[in-house]
A and B are shown apart, each in its own frame.
Chain A
């Protein structure tokens, strides 16, 4: 009993130190790397809140943006393990204060309902939303912003029958970062690698797979 309470207390303490961290990973463009990175979280039973891959400011280099809710200690160790992967150039972790981030959300509602009952223009103004498509049968709105902002519009639209809702992963810019160009030059200080040759083949993936 005593032990149980002690452990519960410990867990509570650990949970209290958990917060949202955004991990930014610069990588080569390689098949299988998404899995290699994803399993580093699942192996430690860490839930990934959001994951986005996109091109980065440097041509040919991809950028993962991953959001998790964890303690700094765990995040720090995790980032080191991620950075150890052969195709990872660099990994950073940041708290929300150190970032500018956005998420995008789409909402599909019945055009009849919305035209009848809501003042669309007011809605768009108030929530920074934009109508992407307006058809006879349905209308699709879009907003970007933080989670709370995109959530608010759900609440407003729900009474009018929200047909579909989807939210994108977070994309984030690190306030203090001066970009990756310089860092990359540092990594390439030696002779250019075989990697360059290899990427040529990756670009020809279609041919490779249809032979």
Chain B
């Protein structure tokens, strides 16, 4: 055609491209997605990305962890306190396999994480090359989505998809495995476009109005309604909507361990924690309420106890973003699927303002019994040895409930979750579903980066601390201001408690010895102290909190103290034991 001059050259205008490497495209994607902090560990197969990172130190802060498991737990901690996606880098082979525990943890606790792993050159895939492992297949059951990139041109779209999938709907971990050739390859980059739709993926189901109406009708007719809520309220950023709902409805509300801190612990309608070591009233009265309203929680077996004796008398309303959760464990009367940020206001509008003073009083009565038999002896013991509860209680008094509490797994976790006070949301970071010992120390690092203005206290047992204590190196190198509070009972306490109660005190391999933790910390140039007497406790905690920078405080507590109340395994929630 000769007439091009007279035609506007619209079609001929090339899209502006620049030639960049796959590695650079990865980092550009991170910046476009608002990432500021990366936790990671370099290695052979991810070196091109680390090489590119060298030029991005202004925009992206990279925290060199001491083990990839620490990296992913830190990314989880970051996600939990920031409410955004945590990012972790690891190399191929062992680097990638070290992520697996964290991925499984993030999967079961619905934590948005994007993991980027290096992989051997595409032509070496399947040849047992050095540090080659089948990362995609290893991580398939523990990721919401994963994908292997072998061509750099795929990177922008795949990264956009990764972030979109990780953070939307029911969040979860996504792993992107990038072969070394794709990292090195130069391609025509057309800029980054965020993903907002994938045709095969429906992050949230459409809200069915008729179900909201049915739910409202059930609530309006209820005599003894009971709300139980989980992390869905926090993940949905629907704390305000939730509080408006329960306040208008006047319904007593209990949290799961993951839902903790979505409402302040002293909220007048908050009746405590559910589950195996939860509070007395919420457990017993689950089996007496007439309408059970579950919001963003998944009826974990640690919450329900024996399922065939769980809330059989109640009509169940289940609000959840994940349709697969409806009827999974507990048969639902009215399923309200959808994002609770949308469904809760719809429900609030349709319900009548009510109060249930007598019903609420029943929770208070149970709370009184629990106070006398469990809480008082735990928080104000008369014996000589310190209890975990009084440590947490003193911590409450000093922080005023403003701190982020990160916990590991075991007795100290249950005690911390039972007794810690929280004034604001996203304050409780714990490994709920997977129960990953070793979670707390690295997660606390991430938690601090996720919300740098707040005090972060990592409450850890003597066993769990020894699983990831190498992350003290990360704390040292990056001056991460986390307060490490080790509750040392010289036992793997939770297993010991079970062996005592259910295995005739046959203490099989629960007797764990520890190094001098204060000396270990000192080796990392982290100040610390160890106390075992009540008179020293408050000052020691106060010193820890006021210390500039990281600090380790070990508190020696009673060796054979048990956590009560307890719903023994195989028992119904109503059979909860106070001792």
Q: CA separation between A123 and B137, bound complex, in Å?
A: 47
Contact B199–A188 (Cβ < 8 Å): yes
Contact B200–A208 (Cβ < 8 Å): no
**B353 adjacent to chain A (CB < 8 Å):** no
Q: CA separation between A187 and B123, bound complex, in Å?
A: 36
Identity of the chain B residue whose Cβ is nearest the Cβ of A32 in the assembled complex: B136
Contact A194–B201 (Cβ < 8 Å): no
**B111 adjacent to chain A (CB < 8 Å):** no
User: Taking the nearest CB of chain A, how far is it from the CB of B37, in angstroms?
Assistant: 26
Across the interface, which residues of B come within 8 angstroms of A36, CB to CB? 140
Identity of the chain A residue whose Cβ is nearest the Cβ of B181 in the assembled complex: A211
**A193 adjacent to chain B (CB < 8 Å):** yes
Contact of B200 among A43, A80, A88, A192 (CB under 8 A): A88
Contact B158–A198 (Cβ < 8 Å): yes
Contact B199–A89 (Cβ < 8 Å): yes
Contact of A211 among B122, B140, B157, B327 (CB under 8 A): B122
**A17 adjacent to chain B (CB < 8 Å):** no
Contact of B123 among A35, A188, A204, A210 (CB under 8 A): A210
Contact A77–B328 (Cβ < 8 Å): yes
Contact of B195 among A76, A187, A193, A210 (CB under 8 A): A193
Across the interface, which residues of A come within 8 angstroms of B145, CB to CB? 86-87
Contact B122–A193 (Cβ < 8 Å): no
Mark the stretch among B147-155, B500-508, B520-528, B546-554 that contacts chain A: B147-155
Contact A201–B198 (Cβ < 8 Å): no
**B315 adjacent to chain A (CB < 8 Å):** no
Contact B181–A193 (Cβ < 8 Å): no
Across the interface, which residues of B come within 8 angstroms of A197, CB to CB? 157
Across the interface, which residues of A come within 8 angstroms of B33, CB to CB? none
Contact B151–A187 (Cβ < 8 Å): no
Chain A interface extent, by class: 35 or more
Identity of the chain A residue whose Cβ is nearest the Cβ of B121 in the assembled complex: A211
Contact B322–A84 (Cβ < 8 Å): yes
User: Quick one: which of B199, B202, B327 has the most chain A CB within 10 A?
Assistant: B199
Across the interface, which residues of A come within 8 angstroms of B123, CB to CB? 209-211
Contact B198–A209 (Cβ < 8 Å): no
Across the interface, which residues of B come within 8 angstroms of A184, CB to CB? 199
Contact B195–A194 (Cβ < 8 Å): yes
**A103 adjacent to chain B (CB < 8 Å):** no
**A195 adjacent to chain B (CB < 8 Å):** yes
Contacts A86-B144, A191-B197, A211-B123; A35 near B137 (Cβ below 8 A): yes
Find residues 198-230 in chain B having any chain A CB closer than 8 Å to their own CB. Answer: 198-202
User: Quick one: which of A27, A81, A188, A193 has the most chain B CB within 10 A?
Assistant: A193
Find residues 133-170 in chain B having any chain A CB closer than 8 Å to their own CB. Answer: 136-137, 140-141, 144-148, 150-151, 153-154, 157-158, 160-161, 165
Contact A86–B165 (Cβ < 8 Å): yes
Contact A198–B154 (Cβ < 8 Å): yes
**A177 adjacent to chain B (CB < 8 Å):** no
Q: CA separation between A191 and B157, bound complex, in Å?
A: 15
Among all A-B residue pairs, the 6 with the closest Cβ atoms: A80-B324, A190-B197, A194-B157, A187-B199, A89-B200, A86-B145
For this complex, 25 residue pairs linking A to B, each with C-beta atoms less than 8 Å apart, are A27-B200, A32-B147, A35-B137, A39-B141, A77-B328, A80-B326, A83-B323, A86-B165, A86-B200, A86-B201, A87-B200, A187-B199, A187-B200, A190-B196, A190-B197, A192-B197, A193-B198, A194-B157, A194-B160, A194-B195, A197-B157, A201-B153, A204-B151, A208-B151, A209-B125
Please give 5 more A-B residue pairs, beta carbons under 8 A apart, in addition to A35-B137, A209-B150. A32-B137, A84-B323, A86-B200, A194-B160, A195-B199
